[in-house]
Structure 1
């Protein structure tokens, strides 16, 4: 029945600056509704990100409400720290790992691990390349 994830939404303070930020990451702007909501394609015609303008982005962070993990290629992940810095993003420490390179989180239940790097958007929403 479920084929994938179609959309996710995040709160942002400044819609124009956030649109520019996500375009720098490679997302494609699609449309906006007035000055309160914008949609950008993560994967064209498959999945998109909704950005909601609000004065209240100061919600206490919890990964269940302000986190997106973007799937990237292994080669992209290998170059992610340099690539992010070139885009004006600063990778951040996560799970005790310093952001000098992607790190692997073991998944003993599945018998493999996930390589990833974490960073934040302009409003402190947690982003991840995995």
Structure 2
């Protein structure tokens, strides 16, 4: 029945600035109603992000709201910090890791490598890549340590 996620939505304080921010990440504007909402393709005809301009953007953060994880290739994830920094975007720590490089959170049969950052309104964003877990390791570590250990 369910095959994937088509859309997600975030509150923003300035729609035009947010459109520019997300375009800098590679999303494509599909449609927008000025001062109200914009729909940006993450992957054309597959998934999009709705940005809603509103006054009450500064909700207390919780991972169940105001969080989007974008799937990326592992090779792109390895250079994500530098790519984001060139755009004036700082990476941030998460799950006890500093944000200086991607880290790995393992699961029994696979793992995910990720790096976190914020958009202009403090919405939590993540670049994530699914990777193999050849030895079913359950220890979280930086991606460089993971690759040294398993590749």
> Is 1:125 the equivalent of 2:126?
no
Alpha-carbon separation, structure 1, partners of 2:94 and 2:34? 36
| Counterpart secondary structure, 1:20 | helix
Q: Which residue does 1:101 correspond to in 2?
A: 101
Aligned residue-pair number? 128
Instruction: Structure 2: give runs of 5+ residues left out of the alignment.
Output: 129-151
Q: 1:44 & 1:79 partners in 2: Cα distance?
A: 24
Distance in 1, Cα, partners of 2:25 & 2:112: 21
The equivalent of 1:37 in structure 2 is 37
Partner of 1:113: 111
Runs (4+) of structure 1 moved beyond 3 Å?
none
Shift of 1:71: 0.2
- Normalised to the residue count of structure 2, the TM-score between the two structures is 0.82
In the alignment, the residues of structure 1 paired with residue 112 and residue 91 of structure 2 have an alpha-carbon distance, to the nearest angstrom, of 17
Q: Deviations over 1:76-95 (max 9, x none)?
A: 10000000101111000111
Task: Determine whether 1:60 maps to 2:60.
Answer: yes
| Greater RCO, 1 or 2 (C-alpha within 8 Å, sep 6+) | 1
1:95 counterpart SS class: coil
Separation in structure 1 between the aligned mates of residue 98 and residue 119 of structure 2, nearest angstrom? 18
SS in 2 for 1:117: strand
Larger Rg: 2
Return the offset for 1:112: 2.8
